[in-house]
Amino acid sequence: MIAKATAAGYVVGYTDGTINPEGKITRQEAAVIINQLNSLSISSNTISFSDVASFVVWSKQDVMNVAAAKIMIGYPDGNFKPEAQITRAEALAAITRAFSMQTMNIAIYYLKDGTNGMYLVREVHSLEKNVGVARAALNELISGTPLTEGAQRVLPVDTRILGITIENDLATVNFSQEVLNANVVSSEETLGIASIVNTLTEFPTIQQVRFFVEGSVERGHRDPARRTRFFRQKPEEVNKGQRMEYIALRSGEKSWTTVAICRVLQVSEAGYYKYRRAQKKPYKYTDLLTTIYSILNEDAENVNYGVKRIFSALQNHHSFKGSYSSIYRICKKNNLIIHYKRHPKGITKADSEAEKAENLIQQDFTAGKPNEKWLTDTTEIPCSDGKLYLAPIFDCYDGGILSFKMDTNMKAELCVAA
């Protein structure tokens, strides 16, 4: 039973590595166990006990949760007495109240696409009570339905959890190989990892998370780039800047301290605060970015400008002397790079069975005098009410258009009429 309890994560040992099965349980230890069984990590943060200052860090959140749920209450003098041994009557009353709850609340992190890119949304899902709360949370992350409009799951619905163990604040999760088809691209993989880590670290007994694919990180796919594209074993395998961003995201939470997160992610506390100070400094390209926005706002069509056109406009009209790569970095950082989906549809189709015409031009599109060489081709113009086809006649001498014809089809008569 002890092995099952420790594996499920609602009973943990002491710092010396022992479980001390013969020891007496204090009221705060009982609160931790009950909180883990019922997953009450999203309850109110208000504590009205007079001896709140005597609560230790590892039990404060749990006591707060079970008290808010009225599973464990204080004494008439207003104290909770966290170090006092829990009596048999108190334990029986708390267990009865805890198991009278038919559901448990679990925090789940999903991805959502916003105007400035993907970000995490935290949702609270009510699930049927289950002893394996960590497994239940992952199953909800895999197959649950996001409550936030536009939010999406990270893991494929056919992903299976082959095993999960919790030991010394470390949760080790063994996924099936379907997890390699995670619903993220390379630029979003940090958020994908964070959604799983955040979901599991909502439980106070979990501070670190390690992933495996069918028992080994080295298995699951032959391509090493894809094998490690989504999951990483060690903090040092994640870009340091991304780790800094994650610390900044979590440091404001009461259940975590900045020191603890820095230690887990192997980032020095001094280095983190140096990063935060640098973030507060004015952006050195503010004036240049303002100029870029003014170029894009000059005309309604300018919003389609790519980096090359922006760079040319800066050089020609704003006396910019910097490099193209600098403009590219600025545009990339501020989501100003436009990626067009190209759908080439050639409308001139060669007939393999038709007799090939003689190549009279020989790819020489120049002419020494007017009306020496004429060329024609058909251009498709998409319109709101259909397609329009244009057939112009060009003079190779000066590129001038001698005549043209438009129609709703591109039959041979169109070129003849032109």
| Distance in angstroms (rounded) separating the CA atoms of residues 138 and 195 | 10
Confidence of residue 47 (pLDDT cuts 50, 70, 90): low
Check whether residue 52 and residue 119 sit in a common domain. Answer: no
Tokens, residue 64: 């707060």
Are the C-beta atoms of 391 and 418 separated by less than 8 Å?
yes
Domain range enclosing 327 = 286-333
State the pTM of this model: 0.37
Confidence of residue 311 (pLDDT cuts 50, 70, 90): very high
Q: Tell me, letter by letter, the H, E, C secondary structure of the chain.
A: CHHHHHHHCCCCCCCCCCCCCCCCCEHHHHHHHHHHHHCCCCCCCCCCCCCHHHCCHHHHHHHHHHHHCCCCCCCCCCCCCCCCECCHHHHHHHHHHHHHCCEEEEEEEEEEEECCEEEEEEEEEEEECCCCHHHHHHHHHHHCCCCCCCEECCCCCCCCEEEEEEECCEEEEEECHHHHHCCCCHHHHHHHHHHHHHHHCCCCCCCEEEEEECCCCCCCCCCHHHHCCCCCCCHHHCCHHHHHHHHHHHCCCCCCCHHHHHHHCCCCHHHHHHHHHHHHCCCCCHHHHHHHHHHHHCCHHHHHCCHHHHHHHHHHHCCCCCCHHHHHHHHHHCCCCCCCCCCCCCCCCCCCCCCCCCCCCCCCCCCCCCCCCEEECCEEEEECCEEEEEEEEEECCCCCEEEEEEECCCCHHHHHHC
Residue 257: inside a domain: no
Q: Which of 51-65, 66-80, 151-165, 352-366 has the highest mean pLDDT?
A: 151-165
Please compute Rg for the chain using Cα positions: 33
Check whether residue 392 and residue 320 sit in a common domain. Answer: no
Is the pLDDT confidence value at 41 over 60? no
Using the 3D structure, point to which of 217, 233, 249 is the last residue of a domain.
233
Check whether residue 223 and residue 113 sit in a common domain. Answer: yes
Check whether residue 57 and residue 73 sit in a common domain. Answer: yes
Within 13 Å of residue 374, how many CA atoms lie on the same side as its CB?
11
Residue 158: inside a domain: yes
Are the C-beta atoms of 306 and 337 separated by less than 8 Å?
yes
Check whether residue 192 and residue 129 sit in a common domain. Answer: yes
Are the C-beta atoms of 30 and 91 separated by less than 8 Å?
yes
Residue 51: inside a domain: yes
- 15-37 per-position pLDDT tens digit: 666 666 777 788 888 887 777 66
Residue 402: inside a domain: yes
Check whether residue 125 and residue 165 sit in a common domain. Answer: yes
Check whether residue 315 and residue 357 sit in a common domain. Answer: no
Confidence of residue 236 (pLDDT cuts 50, 70, 90): low
Check whether residue 313 and residue 371 sit in a common domain. Answer: no
Check whether residue 90 and residue 117 sit in a common domain. Answer: no
Q: What is the pLDDT of residue 210?
A: 82
Residue 119 pairs in a beta bridge with: 112
Residue 178: inside a domain: yes
Task: State how many domains the chain has.
Answer: 4
Q: What is the pLDDT of residue 312?
A: 92
Check whether residue 53 and residue 146 sit in a common domain. Answer: no
Residue 213: inside a domain: yes
Q: What is the pLDDT of residue 7?
A: 55
Residue 141: inside a domain: yes
Using the 3D structure, point to which of 233, 258, 276 is the last residue of a domain.
233
Is the pLDDT confidence value at 221 over 70? no
Are the C-beta atoms of 407 and 415 separated by less than 8 Å?
no
267 by Cβ neighbours in 10 Å (0-12 / 13-18 / 19+) ranks as: buried
Using the 3D structure, point to which of 304, 333, 362 is the last residue of a domain.
333
Residue 104 pairs in a beta bridge with: 127
Is the pLDDT confidence value at 346 over 70? no
Q: Which residue has the tokens 């590129």?
A: 399
Residue type, 12: V
Residue type, 171: A
- 140-191 per-position pLDDT tens digit: 888 888 888 888 888 888 888 888 888 877 888 888 888 877 766 554 566 7
Check whether residue 159 and residue 182 sit in a common domain. Answer: yes
Check whether residue 126 and residue 225 sit in a common domain. Answer: yes
| Distance in angstroms (rounded) separating the CA atoms of residues 229 and 211 | 13
Task: Point out the least confidently predicted range of 219-223, 332-336, 343-347.
Answer: 219-223
Residue 253: inside a domain: no
Confidence of residue 315 (pLDDT cuts 50, 70, 90): very high
Mean of pLDDT values over 238-252 = 73
